[in-house]
Amino acid sequence: MTEVGLRATEALDLVIEAVQQIPLESWDLPSNLEGWSIRDLVGHVTGSATKVVTLVEGGEISQQPSKPDDWKCEDPAARLRELAGRLRDVLPGADLDAMRPSPQGETPLHRVLSYPVADLALHSWDIYHSQGRPLELPDALLTFCRGLVESVPDDMLRRPGGFGPAQPAPDDATPTTRLMAFLGRSV
C-alpha cells in the first residue's frame, strides 16, 4: 500500500477512536473551533472520511469543504466504522495514480487524497483537545501532515475557510502541539 493509503487508514482509525470516546453529555458542547459544537466537528470529519472513501472508490465528490450539517447522523462512530471497512476493501486494488477532479483540475488520486486525509488527522486532535484530552499524532501521520502543510503557500493555507494565524506554543510543546499552534489552534 502507498504512503497516502497507509495514512488514510491510520487517520480514519484515529478519528473512530476519538469519536467512540466522546461522552454522551459532551456532544453539544463547544469544540475548539469557533462556532462549532463537538457534534458539528464530528459531522465535518465524517464528511472528510466520506470524501476519502468516495475518491478511492472512483465516485463523485463536492469540491467544497464538508459542512457539519451535511453529515450528522444517528451513530457517527458506526458510520465511520462502515467507511473504514469500505476503505480497507477498496484500497488494495485502487489505482492511486488515476486522475480525479480537484480544485486544481485533474490530479492523481494520491495527491487529491492528501488534503482530506490530513483533515481527518488534524480534526482528531481537535476532537480530543475540545474535551481537554491530549493527543499526539503517530509519527508517520504527523510527518505526513507536516509535509502537506509545508507544501502549501502561506496565503493559501490561511485563506478564509483555511487555517488561522499561527499561535504561540509553549517551549515544552510536543511536535503535534507545535503543528496545531502553527495551524492557528490555541494550545
| pLDDT of the residue at 2 | 85
At 21-69, the pLDDT tens digits run 999 999 999 999 999 999 999 999 999 999 999 999 998 877 666 666 6
| pLDDT of the residue at 163 | 92
| Domains of the chain by residue range | 3-142
pTM of the predicted structure, to 2 decimals: 0.92
| pLDDT of the residue at 65 | 65
Residue 72 has pLDDT above 80, yes or no: no
* Spatial distance between the Cα atoms of 118 and 144, rounded to a whole number of angstroms: 8
**CATH number of the domain at 3-142, out of 3.40.50.1450, 3.40.50.20, 1.10.8.60, 1.20.120.450?**
1.20.120.450
CB 148 within 8 A of CB 39: no
How confident is the model over 115-133, as a mean pLDDT? 96
Backbone angles phi, psi at 69, to 5 degrees: -65, -20
pLDDT > 90 in the chain, percent: 83
Kindly provide the b/e burial profile for residues 59-69, where b requires at least 16 CB atoms within 10 angstroms of the residue's own CB: eebeeeebebe
Q: What are the distances in angstroms from CA 12 to CA 4, 70, 122, 152, 165?
A: 12, 19, 11, 23, 27
Residues linked to residue 99 through DSSP beta bridges, in sequence order: 108
| H/E element, 111 | helix 109-112
How confident is the model over 146-153, as a mean pLDDT? 94
The DSSP string of 20-39 is HT--GGGTTSB-SSTT-BHH
How confident is the model over 140-160, as a mean pLDDT? 93
